[in-house]
Amino acid sequence: MIFERGHFKSNRIQKSSINESLNESRSFSKNKYESKPTVFISHKHSDLQDVEELKGVMEILEDLGAKIYIDSMDNNMPGHTCGDTAIRIKDVIKHCDKFLLIATEKAIESYWCNWELGIGDTHKYIDHIAVLAIKEKGEYDHEFKGNEYLQIYPSIDFYNGSTYYRESTQLISRGYYVCKPKNKEGLRLILPLNDWLNK
């Protein structure tokens, strides 16, 4: 599934609170969050048209008990992009339990996002990495520039409760799932997002 821009737009809290949350400095230490699954979120900083969308993704993950890492919120990050930035990002990706790429088209074109995905691939593939694809409003799925990512990495999808498991009379419960790419038989293995976070 490729979500349309605006799907994750947060309506739960005021915009001023969102900006405050995203701008606050945080330090990241794996030991600090041992009881919670940790998720590194890779995204194009200047791409998300409004911060409510990113905050909406964060809210979903935090509601499931995850602790989120976003590099712009890390007070241990150097003040300007340099080699130390890359070293810090590599270290955090390695120590986070999960890696999530918010795959907008600009993120797919981003040098940094692709580099982070490569590090995530090295340390998290395939059970601990996922792509959350977001297309522009009105765009067809086949027009999405990152379709090849969805063929090799698990993706986050949403089921509305009206889809049946293959060859079953059981409905897939409403919610978000991490779905592996289709196998040789054309089947997609799915896991509830909460189960994936805690796996």
pLDDT in tens, 150-196: 889 999 999 999 998 888 889 999 999 999 998 888 888 999 999 99
Lowest pLDDT segment from 7-11, 14-18, 161-165, 190-194: 14-18
pLDDT in tens, 114-162: 999 999 999 998 999 999 999 888 888 888 888 888 889 999 999 999 9
Q: How far apart are the first and last CA of the chain?
A: 22
Q: What's the rounded Cα separation, in Å, for the pair 109 and 115?
A: 11
Q: Are the C-beta atoms of 40 and 99 separated by less than 8 Å?
A: yes
In 3D, which of 177, 125, 184, 171 has the Cα closest to residue 1?
Answer: 177
- What pTM, to 2 d.p., does this model score? 0.85
Q: Report which DSSP code applies to 6.
A: T
Q: Are the C-beta atoms of 69 and 32 separated by less than 8 Å?
A: no
Q: Are the C-beta atoms of 2 and 144 separated by less than 8 Å?
A: yes
Strand partners, 60: none
Q: Are the C-beta atoms of 39 and 198 separated by less than 8 Å?
A: no
The CATH code that applies to domain 3-159 is 3.40.50.10140
